A and B are shown apart, each in its own frame.
Chain A
Amino acid sequence: MLDDFMWRAMIAGVLVAMAAAPLGCFVVWRRMAYFGDATAHAAILGVALALLLNVSIFLGVLTVALVMASCVSMLSGRGYAMDTLLGVMAHSALAIGLVAVSFLSGVRIDLNAYLFGDILAVGKTDIWIIGGGVALVLALLFWRWSSLLTATLSDELAYASGIQPRREQLVLTLALAVVVAVALKVVGVLLIAALLIIPAATARPFCRTPEIMAILAAGIAMLAVTAGLRTAYVMDTPTGPTIVTLAAVLFTLATVVTQCFRFFRQRIQPAFFHSGK
């Protein structure tokens, strides 16, 4: 099964979706969307450094993503607004990364593969790395779930329950860096944030508890990945963008359905009651 590139792509995509979607829920709840974006954009710098130093790309991306995320965490609340700081750092990291890549003489790299992902080129080793990363993220989320949720609700409530909100923030930062590193091959640096946020946003109207939202988001993300791969294969479109497009279609459908439902409940139903009387 692992010998077929389609199957490898499918497995890699589904694995990444499993970790990205629940983590994406936290990104949405804590309004860290731009934070995820910044960490992902910094990954291109990681790619350049890894090629330069001749180490594994996964390691390079993971390191730079971690450094980036910790920098943002530390600098926030010191004179600049969070979004300004992220805007500066995200795009600077992306730009510096692209410049650094151009210095790599002798190595011909396909920049598109890193910007938009190259899921069809996933090898057997990649699957093991992705599997390990995903297992780590899921284990972290599972282990810290209640503390993470409490810290998301309010810092004071967390302190009163003996939870350190900054430590929970660090756990999320770490998980985010790992997801960026493993999702690089699947959707590329420019679209990782989409894989985090869109499934969570799609799941939101159908859920009453955070746990259900995380599970449903994972389901939606896996559906987007598998359907996106299939569509890309049939229509011969780039896979990363196709996966995100599919996710966007699911989001639009969910929004239309919930808005129609709400409209029906508010406007039309009372009219039925009145005519019945």
Chain B
Amino acid sequence: MRFNQPPDRDAILNVRHLNVRFGGQHILENINLDLYREQVVTLIGPNGSGKSTLVKTLIGAVTPTSGQVTIAPQQRIGYVPQRLHLDPTLPMTVKRFINLPRRHPHYTVQKALEDAGAEALIKAAMSELSGGQFQRVLLARALLTRPDILILDEATQGLDHRGTAEFYQHIESVRRSYGCAVLMVSHDLHVVMRTADHVLCLNRVICCEGKPEQVASSPDYQALFGDQTAQTLALYRHQHEEAANAG
């Protein structure tokens, strides 16, 4: 099991005093965030807490009202969106989709698909893919530029337990082989607790953050997600550690 080593390197992504307002309504307030190489940071929070807005600000789709997002020079971002709806009137093969907006050499495409566990799908039509396959193709597309930062916005939404577990396995192996930082929004609290180095609990402001177990035991977190979930998590953590110790 990996815990977050105190990062002694410079952060590759900095967010400082970020505020986002839409029509007078505060969506995000005073967000500060650092992301280090190979670190896995997970954003959790209730619906409407601004998770997606934060992710969209990081990829440049939302302009912050104030504050700044700094990405270290030469750092590439790979972005995996929430489940994408493709209009059925738009014919699209996996190969063509991967090569948008820029074409990549065949071996690069092949490698990215392999790393995402989607190498068999290259000739398939996007409309024929299952939910899990679709997400793996989106992951492959994000890997093409060999990203230093991988950003995932609820990438496992709509997947069943098995699909979710498999998808996170691919993310973990990608993180190791690419050496990239991962920032993800997730509802799968079990997975969050197992894989994250750092958890940010967002509810317009960052209401608590830290190692998974710190967040799980924080009163703010319990107020947001309820005792029930917190207990489930504590229980999970407990069992998991026992299993790890036994093994």
Residue A153 is within 8 A (CB to CB) of chain B in the complex: yes
How many angstroms from the CA of A31 to the CA of B96 in the assembled complex? 21
Interfacial chain A residues near B91, Cβ < 8 Å: 204, 207-210, 212-213
If A160-B79, A161-B101 touch, whether A155 touches B61 (CB-CB below 8 Å) is yes
Q: Residue of B at shortest CB range from A161?
A: B101
Interfacial chain B residues near A6, Cβ < 8 Å: none
Q: Residue of A at shortest CB range from B103?
A: A146
Contacting residue for B87 out of A31, A211, A212, CB 8 A: A31
The distance from the CB of A219 to the nearest CB of chain B, in whole angstroms, is 15
Number of A-B contacts (CB under 8 A): 68
If A146-B100, A147-B101, A149-B101 touch, whether A159 touches B89 (CB-CB below 8 Å) is no
How many angstroms from the CA of A245 to the CA of B153 in the assembled complex? 47
Residue A156 is within 8 A (CB to CB) of chain B in the complex: yes
Contacting residue for A209 out of B77, B87, B96, CB 8 A: B96
B interface bracket (residues with beta carbon within 8 Å of A) = 20 to 34
| B residues 146-185 touching A (CB-CB < 8 Å) | 153
Question: B101 near A163 (CB under 8 angstroms)?
Answer: yes
The distance from the CB of B153 to the nearest CB of chain A, in whole angstroms, is 8
How many angstroms from the CA of A212 to the CA of B91 in the assembled complex? 9
Residue B191 is within 8 A (CB to CB) of chain A in the complex: no
Q: Residue of B at shortest CB range from A144?
A: B101
Contact with B along A199-236 (1 / 0, CB 8 A): 01100100111111100000000000000000000000
Q: Residue of A at shortest CB range from B77?
A: A160
21 pairs of residues in contact across A and B, judged by CB atoms under 8 Å: A28-B89, A29-B87, A146-B102, A149-B101, A150-B100, A152-B87, A152-B90, A153-B90, A154-B84, A156-B56, A156-B59, A159-B56, A159-B60, A160-B61, A160-B77, A162-B60, A163-B101, A200-B89, A201-B89, A210-B90, A210-B96
Please give 15 more A-B residue pairs, beta carbons under 8 A apart, in addition to A149-B101, A209-B91, A209-B92: A30-B87, A31-B87, A147-B101, A152-B87, A152-B90, A153-B84, A153-B97, A159-B56, A159-B60, A200-B89, A204-B91, A207-B91, A210-B96, A212-B91, A213-B91
Contact residues of B with A, CB < 8 Å? 56, 59-61, 77, 79, 81, 84, 86-87, 89-93, 96-97, 100-102, 125, 153
Contact residues of A with B, CB < 8 Å? 28-31, 146-147, 149-150, 152-163, 200-201, 204, 207-213
Q: Which 7 A-B pairs have the closest CB atoms?
A: A159-B61, A160-B79, A146-B101, A150-B101, A29-B90, A207-B91, A160-B59
